[in-house]
Amino acid sequence: MTARKTAAKKTTPHATKRIPLRITDTTLRDAHQSLWATRMRTKDIMGIIDTIDQAGYYSLEVWGGATFDVCLRFLRENPWERLRMIKAHAPKTPLQMLLRGQNVVGYKNYPDDVLDRFVELACRNGVDIFRIFDALNDVRNMEQAIRSVKRYGGHAQGAISYTISPVHTVEKYVQLAKELQALEVDSLVIKDMAGILSPIMAEKLVSALVRETNIPIQLHTHATSGMGTATYVEGVRAGAGAIDCAISVMSSSSSQPPVETMLAIFNETPYHANLDVDCLRKICRYFEDLAPKRAAKNMPINPIDPDILVHHIPGGMISNLRSQLAQQDALDRLPEVLEELPRTRADMGYPPLVTPTSQIVGIQSVLNVLAGERYAMIPEETRNYVKGQYGRPPAPIDKKLAKTVLVKEKPITCRPADMLEPMLPTATDGVPAGLIESEEDVISYCIFPEVALEYFKWRAMPTEERPDPPVVLEQQKEMEEQAPASAPEIQRLLTNEDYRELNDLASRVAALQLQEFTIRRNDLTLSLRGSGVQMGSDIAPTAPAPASAASASPTSAPKTAAPPEPAAIDDGTPIPAPLNGTFYQSPGPGKPPFVKEGDTVNVGDTLCIVEAMKLFNQIKAPVAGKVLRILSQHGEPVQKGQPMMIIG
Ligand code: CO
């Protein structure tokens, strides 16, 4: 034995000082969630999983996060089946999942019985390592998950969700690590979902955690700000024994740093990852072939997001804000929202911005800007957050905001899941017989009832009768959107100022005798050909331009359609819709309306609901009086500024 060991040592240089470095591959979970909007198919994974299993990774992150929801909702795949297939083809390398603590793989707290059964089945189907996080770093939302993982023999990794704020100090993170240690986690991970952990901070934080806890530490970052590779170097030198990487073609931008690059860097250090470079080459080629089919459209031109270094808002969150503002015809207000967001986040006690707090803080900031008054509109999710139903915020909530929401109520102080009744005994009551085929189906249904039910119905159809999965329709729509826009569309999208500029450019292009000229402005790419103007994305086929920039009349180009003419208004106060959305007269199906014509209301009484950006906003009476007329129909769309009722 001893002789063989000595011989082996001689063949490797630096053998005496080599320190093993563990690398987790995120290609099959976080990387495609970050770059491909989670659209990797199980068959994509099956084409390469055996090679990935041979590469020598410490673990493969393949499940959880958004993959569960997207499998059912868009791909019409069974996430449990995916897990079993991966396990069958990757028997060597431990499989890892991202578990959102008490939120399991959803967006709200689920009762303990659902969480426990989920973990039991995940273990049984192949998950070895569970990375457990909570958006607020409230360990009360993680303790049941940790207990369950340990009960069923899994490795429980406790995550520290990293963010930057006046209250997020090294001391505070160490305190969190100690709370996780008390729950007997097997390892810790610093989860830097926004890619804002700097190399210097990584060194400080890892050193402190090693010194104070002595638990194995892993680093998880995103390459968004461009600091990721340096952050790993400093973190590993400070004592982190494991890092998360993706295969190069699935890395960088908002994904993880590239594994090949990290190997090359660490090769000149004592830290040794021992990966098979030939395998990595094969994996890289496989995804190079697949990427053109699967990559999300409209990828940013700049692989680095320099703004994140300033405002610390994750890139995915900004694209959500853009689409929410676009729904409200208010895309031009994005700069105001980005300025408002840190203020709203401070009011809400500096939550790290990750699912679901990123959605809550984001939409509240949008509402604060659009309403023209902060907290004039507060959706149910913000109310529940302020009431403590998501857990304990890192810092106290702003007193004024707390008072507005709570009035005289007290926020809850217990573990939020303690308020939830067990769900399993009656979970599938009401599901038509024959649709549920397994215990795993029951759990899918508990977590995403509507989505799972749709999937079960689709699955129950004979194969040839099944409609295309939503992901196929999505792709067809994208193809159509890439077609050049028509002249009326161009007129709708351009402002008068754009027209003046285009006229100017067109005459200059003509003077230069250029055949083709492309300009980028906001979300539009405009190709000028001669004196014509055409809109589309870069890869759209170019077609003869339908409109001439030089001849387009500025007055014929209103930026947005005007709201419908208001109905003749009686004497009284009109109640305008605060947002583009859907008008609801009652809180839910079968419930009586908030008010009827002829009712008397006091200031602050709820009049109706306007649903916008998937959140429900109760509209309160600004004056006391009688409901003279209700002008909108239940369930019908309303536009911002449109009077919904008259009070006089
Ligand atoms: Co991540």
- b vs e for 314-323, b when ≥16 Cβ sit within 10 Å of the residue's Cβ? bbbbbebbee
Cis bond before residue 425 (omega within 30° of 0): no
Using the mean position of ligand 1's atoms as its centre, give its distance from the Cα of residue 620 in Å: 40
Bridge partners of 158, per DSSP, are 132, 188
- Indicate the CATH number for domain 573-647: 2.40.50.100
| pLDDT confidence of residue 306 | 87
Q: β-pairing, 59-64 with 95-99?
A: parallel
| pLDDT confidence of residue 586 | 87
Using the mean position of ligand 1's atoms as its centre, give its distance from the Cα of residue 169 in Å: 21
Using the mean position of ligand 1's atoms as its centre, give its distance from the Cα of residue 255 in Å: 7
AA identity, residue 202:
A
Using the mean position of ligand 1's atoms as its centre, give its distance from the Cα of residue 191 in Å: 7
Using the mean position of ligand 1's atoms as its centre, give its distance from the Cα of residue 639 in Å: 37
Measured distance CA(562)–CA(639) in Å, rounded: 9
500 close to 455: Cβ distance less than 8 angstroms: no
Going by the DSSP 8-state scheme, the letter that residue 592 receives in this structure is: P
Using the mean position of ligand 1's atoms as its centre, give its distance from the Cα of residue 33 in Å: 9
Measured distance CA(266)–CA(232) in Å, rounded: 10
391 close to 134: Cβ distance less than 8 angstroms: yes
Using the mean position of ligand 1's atoms as its centre, give its distance from the Cα of residue 248 in Å: 16
Query: For helices 199-213 and 228-237, what crossing angle results, to 10°?
Result: 30
AA identity, residue 227:
M
484 close to 540: Cβ distance less than 8 angstroms: yes
Using the mean position of ligand 1's atoms as its centre, give its distance from the Cα of residue 354 in Å: 10
Q: β-pairing, 600-601 with 625-630?
A: antiparallel
Measured distance CA(194)–CA(254) in Å, rounded: 8
Using the mean position of ligand 1's atoms as its centre, give its distance from the Cα of residue 3 in Å: 44
Coil/strand/helix, residue 608: strand
Cα distances from 8 to residues 3, 13, 54, 74, 395, in angstroms, run 9, 10, 22, 51, 54
Question: What does the block give as tokens for 451?
Answer: 């989505």
190 close to 197: Cβ distance less than 8 angstroms: yes
Using the mean position of ligand 1's atoms as its centre, give its distance from the Cα of residue 29 in Å: 9
Using the mean position of ligand 1's atoms as its centre, give its distance from the Cα of residue 194 in Å: 8
- What does the H/E/C string look like for 417-454? HHHCCCCHHHCCCCCCCCCCCCHHHHHHHHHCHHHHHH
What are the 10-residue block averages of pLDDT along the chain, 648 residues in total?
Answer: 44 66 98 93 98 98 96 97 98 98 95 98 98 97 98 98 97 98 98 96 98 96 96 98 98 95 96 97 98 82 87 79 88 94 97 91 94 91 94 96 92 95 93 95 96 96 95 84 59 62 64 57 53 35 34 35 47 88 83 92 90 79 92 90 92
Cα distances from 402 to residues 362, 378, 405, in angstroms, run 18, 12, 5
| pLDDT confidence of residue 558 | 37
Using the mean position of ligand 1's atoms as its centre, give its distance from the Cα of residue 193 in Å: 5
Cα distances from 497 to residues 336, 444, 494, 506, 555, in angstroms, run 21, 51, 8, 14, 11
Helix, strand, coil percentages for the chain (3-state, nearest 5): 45, 15, 40
Using the mean position of ligand 1's atoms as its centre, give its distance from the Cα of residue 46 in Å: 23
Using the mean position of ligand 1's atoms as its centre, give its distance from the Cα of residue 120 in Å: 24
Measured distance CA(490)–CA(458) in Å, rounded: 39
AA identity, residue 530:
G
Measured distance CA(643)–CA(648) in Å, rounded: 14
Using the mean position of ligand 1's atoms as its centre, give its distance from the Cα of residue 31 in Å: 8
Using the mean position of ligand 1's atoms as its centre, give its distance from the Cα of residue 133 in Å: 11
Using the mean position of ligand 1's atoms as its centre, give its distance from the Cα of residue 634 in Å: 41
Bridge partners of 520, per DSSP, are 525
Measured distance CA(475)–CA(481) in Å, rounded: 10
Kindly give, in sequence order, each residue whose CB lies less than 8 Å from that of residue 386, ignoring residues fewer than 6 positions away. 348, 397, 401, 402, 405, 406, 411
643: left (phi over 0), alpha (psi -120 to 50) or beta: beta
Q: CA triplet 221, 224, 227: central angle to 5 degrees? A: 65
Using the mean position of ligand 1's atoms as its centre, give its distance from the Cα of residue 416 in Å: 25
Using the mean position of ligand 1's atoms as its centre, give its distance from the Cα of residue 250 in Å: 13
Using the mean position of ligand 1's atoms as its centre, give its distance from the Cα of residue 158 in Å: 14
Cα distances from 235 to residues 190, 192, 208, 593, in angstroms, run 10, 12, 11, 58
| pLDDT confidence of residue 5 | 45
Using the mean position of ligand 1's atoms as its centre, give its distance from the Cα of residue 220 in Å: 7
User: Which of 161, 169, 116, 162 lies closest to 139 in space, CA to CA?
Assistant: 161
- What does the H/E/C string look like for 110-168? CCHHHHHHHHHHHHHHCCCEEEECCCCCCHHHCHHHHHHHHHCCCEEEEEEECCCCCCC
Query: For helices 439-447 and 79-89, what crossing angle results, to 10°?
Result: 130
Q: β-pairing, 637-638 with 524-529?
A: unpaired
| pLDDT confidence of residue 498 | 65
| pLDDT confidence of residue 305 | 87
Measured distance CA(165)–CA(311) in Å, rounded: 11
Using the mean position of ligand 1's atoms as its centre, give its distance from the Cα of residue 324 in Å: 23
Using the mean position of ligand 1's atoms as its centre, give its distance from the Cα of residue 303 in Å: 16
99 close to 130: Cβ distance less than 8 angstroms: yes
Cα distances from 43 to residues 194, 270, 279, 294, in angstroms, run 29, 38, 19, 13
How many other C-beta atoms are found inside a 10 Å radius of the C-beta of residue 586? Answer: 14
Please report, for the chain, the start and end positions of each structural domain, with discontinuous segments joined by +: 484-554, 573-647
Measured distance CA(638)–CA(612) in Å, rounded: 10
| pLDDT confidence of residue 526 | 56
Using the mean position of ligand 1's atoms as its centre, give its distance from the Cα of residue 61 in Å: 11
Using the mean position of ligand 1's atoms as its centre, give its distance from the Cα of residue 64 in Å: 11
